[in-house]
């Protein structure tokens, strides 16, 4: 792996509360010297912060990322129109790390990630705006801990040829070891 190039992992999902932060936490626990960028959509303003007092506030996704071993955590709150600029500011703060994990669907429009991960929940339909993120994914994680009788078939039909991992994200069981092995191999590629 080239040491001078910042590796980017994009974590996108089918809808809110699908498990993106939990998956980021699992990745950060297993990828050393990686930072994290949490992106939150805002309709009114844009901001970029790495202030530990804000990042580590109880019950915030950024606090979960920090506690999971992120070398640095930056929280981007941004309008879509300003997202490219605010992401650029956040990326500047990640220089010197091996890589970063970027959580959120919209940042994928402005980044060229090395790895795109899409998370689906078989109990819920994929929101229309997220369908293309599954189509662009390099791998899919099905959050199998929340499977109910009402399984949406679209979650089990990702693009042909890409790996699919069934993981109970809360219990961290299922295909988690195979998933982490795959991630490690993927990150070693040039």
Q: Give residue-wise pLDDT tens across range 125-136.
A: 888 889 899 999
Q: Is residue 43 part of a domain?
A: yes
Q: Is residue 2 part of a domain?
A: no
Instruction: Give the Cα separation of 171 and 173 in Å (integer).
Output: 5
Q: Give the global pTM.
A: 0.90
Number of domains composing the chain? 1
Q: What is the mean pLDDT of the chain?
A: 89
List pLDDT tens digits, range 104-146. Answer: 999 999 999 999 999 998 878 888 889 899 999 999 999 986 5
Name the band, by pLDDT with cuts 50, 70 and 90, for residue 158.
low
At residue 145, the pLDDT reads 65
Q: Is residue 71 part of a domain?
A: yes
In the chain, the percentage of residues whose pLDDT exceeds 70 is 89
At residue 121, the pLDDT reads 86
For residues 105 and 128, the answer to whether their CB atoms sit within 8 Å is no
Name the band, by pLDDT with cuts 50, 70 and 90, for residue 185.
confident
Residue 162 exposed, middle or buried by CB count within 10 Å (0-12, 13-18, 19+)? middle
**CATH number, domain at 109?**
3.40.50.300
Q: Is residue 1 part of a domain?
A: no
Q: Is residue 178 part of a domain?
A: yes
Task: Answer yes or no: is pLDDT of 31 > 60.
Answer: yes
Q: What is the DSSP letter of 172?
A: T
Q: Is residue 22 part of a domain?
A: yes
Task: Answer yes or no: is pLDDT of 102 > 90.
Answer: yes
* Residue 17 φ/ψ region, left for φ over 0, alpha for ψ in the -120 to 50 degree band, beta for the rest: left
Instruction: Record the tokens describing residue 57, joined without a space.
Output: 């506030």
- Phi/psi at 185 (5° precision): -65, -45
Average pLDDT over residues 59-81: 96
Q: What is the DSSP letter of 139?
A: E
Q: Is residue 132 part of a domain?
A: yes
For residues 158 and 2, the answer to whether their CB atoms sit within 8 Å is no
Instruction: Give the Cα separation of 171 and 127 in Å (integer).
Output: 25
List the domain range (segments joined by +) for residue 136. Answer: 7-188
Q: Is residue 114 part of a domain?
A: yes
């Amino acid at each position: 792996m080239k040491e001078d190039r910042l590796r980017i992992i994009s974590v996108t999902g089918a809808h809110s509360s699908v498990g993106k932060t939990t998956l980021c936490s699992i990745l950060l626990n297993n990828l050393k010297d990686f930072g994290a960028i949490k992106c939150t959509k805002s309709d009114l303003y844009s901001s970029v912060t790495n202030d530990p007092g804000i990042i580590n506030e109880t019950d915030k996704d950024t606090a979960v990322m920090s506690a999971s071993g992120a070398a640095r955590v930056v929280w981007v709150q941004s309008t879509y129109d300003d997202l490219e600029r605010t992401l650029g500011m956040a990326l500047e703060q990640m220089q010197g790390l091996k890589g970063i994990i970027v959580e959120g669907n919209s940042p994928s429009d402005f980044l060229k990630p090395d790895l795109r991960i899409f998370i689906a929940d078989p109990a819920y339909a994929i929101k229309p705006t997220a369908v293309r993120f599954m189509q662009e994914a390099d791998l899919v994680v099905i959050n199998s801990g929340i499977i109910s009788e009402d399984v949406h078939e679209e979650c089990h039909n990702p693009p042909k040829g890409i790996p699919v991992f069934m993981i109970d994200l809360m219990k961290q069981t299922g295909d988690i070891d195979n998933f982490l092995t795959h991630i490690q191999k993927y990150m070693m590629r040039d």
